[in-house]
């Protein structure tokens, strides 16, 4: 999923008044966390995820299908939070957290980011 695709989807399902620049910044926050906490990238590499709307709408996001829904859920939650709709925010964050946890479980059994290779179990099951 590209940055522009995540934004277009969210704008379609959750109409909002926030600019693309704001939504790109929110996506960059999530990408930076993923880069640091999951993919274990170096600090200098994480700086590459400071996306801007002018430059990065065509950028491919780190997490691929079927787990890329974390981006749209994240954007929906950020919209709810910024609008002060805290009950909606809590519900959306709960769904986001469930999907994020599913991604982490899958990623943890498929890859060993500290070693930079695919686990033998994942290779044996044809997950890669």
pLDDT above 70 covers a percentage of the chain that reads 88
Task: For residue 69, give every residue at least 6 positions away whose Cβ sits within 8 Å of its Cβ, in sequence order, or none.
Answer: 99
Cα-based distances in Å from 96 to 44, 53, 76, 100: 28, 23, 9, 6
Task: Mean pLDDT check: name the lowest of 3-12, 13-22, 61-70, 108-117.
Answer: 108-117
Evaluate if residue 13 carries a pLDDT over 60: yes
Mean pLDDT of the chain: 89
CA dihedral 97, 98, 102, 103 (to 10 degrees): -30
Q: Taking the model in full, what pTM does it have?
A: 0.86
Whether the predicted pLDDT of 124 surpasses 70:
no
Residue spans of the domains in the chain: they are 3-120
């Amino acid at each position: 999923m590209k940055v522009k695709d995540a934004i277009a989807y969210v704008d379609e399902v959750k109409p909002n008044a926030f600019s693309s620049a704001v939504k790109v910044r929110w996506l960059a926050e999530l990408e930076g966390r993923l880069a640091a906490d999951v993919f274990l990238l170096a600090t200098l590499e994480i700086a590459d995820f400071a996306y801007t709307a002018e430059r990065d709408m065509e950028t491919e996001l780190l997490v691929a299908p079927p787990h890329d829904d974390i981006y749209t859920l994240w954007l929906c939650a950020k919209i709810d939070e910024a609008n002060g709709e805290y009950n909606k925010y809590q519900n959306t964050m709960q769904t986001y957290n469930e999907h994020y946890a599913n991604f982490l479980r899958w990623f943890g059994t498929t890859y060993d980011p500290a070693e930079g290779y695919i686990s033998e179990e994942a290779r044996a099951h044809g997950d890669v």
